[in-house]
Amino acid sequence: MNKFSKRLKLLRKEMGLTQAELAEKLGLKQATIAKWGKGERTPYIDYFIELAKFFNCSIDYLVGLVDF
């Protein structure tokens, strides 16, 4: 599991969201969130932007370049 996958799971759980709930909020399929969470796929840049906005964090944090 890569840093992005770990951070996505952490942020999602901190907000009390299931993969399906997060997927619905972002207009995606639950399978997409699951693949991101397992490190099987990486989002396109547009989705990194949406995730950063949704979780109120930086893309750098999402991908593990910074720890805050």
Tokens representing 67? 């720890």
Q: How crowded is the C-beta side of 58, counted as CA atoms within 13 Å?
A: 7
Query: Looking at residue 42, what is its pLDDT?
Result: 93
CATH of 3-63, one of 2.10.25.10, 3.20.20.210, 1.10.260.40, 2.40.170.20: 1.10.260.40
**How big is the chain by its Cα radius of gyration, in Å?**
11
Query: Looking at residue 68, what is its pLDDT?
Result: 78
Number of Cβ within a 10 Å radius of residue 35: 16
Query: Looking at residue 33, what is its pLDDT?
Result: 97
Q: Which residues contact 9 (CB under 8 A, 6 or more apart)?
A: 37
**Mean pLDDT for each 10-residue chunk of the chain (68 residues)?**
93 97 97 96 96 97 93
Instruction: State the distance between the two ends of the chain, measured CA to CA, in whole angstroms.
Output: 20
Residue spans of the domains in the chain: they are 3-63
pTM reported for the whole predicted model: 0.92
